[in-house]
Structure 1
């Protein structure tokens, strides 16, 4: 054994070879919805009941995303970043967590948030232009969705380290896009997590574009999963449109973190079918043929075909899942079709736990002015 490798093993740092991802993305199900020619070594296919539940939640997630997109076109949302095409990552990520774990999402991860237990209307509150995230993070163990790229990753790592220090046994799943891996916060989070063995799993949803910048202009790495190696973080890459594979890999990653072995990095190769947001024109930087190629790898159709072929799903199950999703969409429409009247006094509600004398005075002045305005209009 070379001297440097021997020293690395002795001081607790694993050899580089043990950190490397698979040479090709892990895959259980082909784009045609059939079993992959060879089962991936080291990973077990999730139980059939878990896959059935994941399918139901994927149908709900797709319908939620479609309804939210429609609401943005109707002016009910200020902006909406669709996750159409990335549902396998979102659903598998949420299902990999236990009750005491935490999810740290980005602005594109509302499907994961809803799957984790956030009320659909509350999940969209921030995107309506409200001043807050719309829900109580500790109650659902979901952090506010992060809009600046990767700034939530050090927060996620800090939460994971706190759980470790308290001996709570919890794990944090931090979602990030390919563009976020170019930010300094990403590298700082990985380095801290590795050194302090924080129980955090980083899931890169590589959807090929950072707004309009293609992956080839962001990184020269053979795969983004290799970025974990330099920090001593074991890594893997997976077909992000294969829910069976994403679930298998994330289960292994979460188990690794929960067992006290430190962080894990997963890169899921997927695709953002719609634009960056409803304000984006993706036709300016990608062609229709590219989109059609990825539509052929649609994660929902792939899983449905696979489960039907395995006898784990029936046509009645498919119809029931779609009916359940329509109920979700109808409820979301009804509750979003209500004008929200902001209360100006909320400006003072969450500034300090104990308001300063100046804030008390300013609040009283604004309350008096508001009352005068209401009486003059009454």
Structure 2
């Protein structure tokens, strides 16, 4: 099976009697038609855009192949992680299937000195920041609390608490401005998180303090089982206006458009013009996480319509149309993706179990009497199992 067909291969079926949750009703007001920045159509044809073309003027055929490689390998890693969870090797996994263009496009727009605050789904951005894919899996296997040093790649640890990373990003960006640095900060979150109070507070502080931060929202249409029409009455990017900074909606399945728009937003932040909201209009092809069953709340027809806009197939069509890649390139990349899958499998299964007592380490910098007491109680509890086992063996003799 090719990497590009991964999405098509995963088509969970829904019974014909299931009604899509959150259908629009006649009483809901219609929002004005939103703008959408697009440089590549779903058919892989180049579209001219006077405002953003200049931000991808340096893109060469080699650059395009690099973006394609990034998306293919990210999807392969994600598929392997999903399979590992189904095999009991991971406790949970949040797939990015369908969102590769949004993450790779924005991730490749960053400079080394920019700082990233992700959620728990930014596997493609992590790839762009040089974080080894296997390091993303330790937390989901339960062997660590995050397998990388944020300072090494300017990529913060994954954040599970919905929306809280936007406040972290706002505060960090305010510090960047105070230090007089010319770098930028980017915060990733989803359409569901945009309804959190933390996000509104982050918008407020960033606007008031003119913080150099880009808020990058991947609107994948579903906050678990709630559609966007149950979350907001206006296009998401228009919310920025109420906080005093601009917003823009970009085709989240168009890697070139995501690259251009994010570059523009980051440049704006670096030059002292303050925050900006980027809404990447995309789609979550798979489940919210591996504990979710999307067939219970969305229609097959909706998913199939978005699969026709697959970001990887779109860029491949453009590469072939422009003769920027040949079959040898695609074949070599397929082999590379399979090698990545094997490396991820082997690395996960080789991860050592953590020291059970380590849970008590580093809770407080200087120790704490209550933690010491809890450590002793847990040690006695664990010892009771080895004692009972030894007793059972003795009785068996």
Per the TM superposition, whether the score is higher than 0.5 is yes
Aligned pair 1:33/2:28, yes or no? Answer: no
Q: Give the gaps of 5 or more residues in structure 2.
A: 1-31
Q: TM-score, normalised by structure 2?
A: 0.83
5 Å-filtered alignment, 1:299-318, equals 299-318=311-330
The C-alpha deviation readout for 1:204-229, integer Å capped at 9, x for no partner, is 111101101111111000x1110111
Distance in 2 between residues matched to 1:274 and 1:318, nearest whole Å = 24
CA distance in 2, matches of 1:270, 1:138: 30
Query: Which of residues 29, 42, 67 in structure 2 aligns to 1:54?
Result: 67
| CA distances 1:148-190 after superposition (whole Å, capped 9, x unpaired) | 2211110111111111111232211111111111111111111
> Match for residue 15 of structure 1?
none
Query: Is contact 1:55–1:300 with CA below 8 Å preserved after alignment?
Result: yes
The structure 2 residue matched to 1:151, chosen from 160, 164, 167, is 164
Instruction: Choose the corresponding residue for 2:130, options 81, 96, 117.
Output: 117
Give per-residue Cα distances to partners, 1:106-140, cap 9 Å, x unaligned. 11222322331222122122222345122222222
Out of 253, 264, 267, the position equivalent to 1:241 is 253
Q: Tell me, in whole angstroms, the C-alpha distance in 2 between the residues paired with 1:185 and 1:169.
A: 26
Counterpart contact for 2:144–2:354, Cα < 8 Å: no
Does the 8 A contact of 2:143 with 2:353 survive in 1? no
2:6 aligned residue: none
Aligned residues: 356
Deviation at 1:368, TM superposition (A): 8.2
Q: Which runs of 4+ in 1 moved over 4 A?
A: 357-378
Shift of 1:279: 1.7
SS of residue paired to 2:350: coil
Query: In structure 2, what is the equivalent of residue 140 of structure 1?
Result: 153
Per the TM alignment, residue 141 of structure 1 is displaced from its structure 2 partner at its CA by 1.3
Residue 126 of structure 1, aligned match among 128, 139, 157: 139
Residue equivalent to 2:359: 347
**Contact 1:160–1:171 (8 Å) recurs in 2:** yes
Distance 2:170 2:271 in 1: 16
Question: Which residues of 2 match residues 223-242 of structure 1 at below 5 A?
Answer: 223-242=235-254
Q: Distance in 1 between matches of 2:290 and 2:359?
A: 29
The answer to whether the 8 A contact 1:83-1:272 is kept is yes
Q: Secondary structure at the match of 1:252?
A: helix
Q: Within 2, Cα distance between the matches of 1:170 and 1:322? A: 36
Corresponding residue for 1:204? 217
Rounded Cα–Cα distance in structure 2 between residues aligned with 1:53 and 1:241: 16
Q: Shift of the alpha carbon at 1:85?
A: 0.4
CA contact (8 A) 1:93 1:112 kept: yes
The Cα shift of 1:269 comes to: 0.7
Q: Distance in 2 between the 1:64 and 1:201 partners?
A: 27
RMSD of Structure 2 on Structure 1 (CA): 2.3
Question: Any gaps of 5 or more consecutive residues in structure 1?
Answer: 1-20
TM-score (norm 1): 0.87
Aligned counterparts of 1:158 and 1:279: Cα–Cα separation in 2: 33
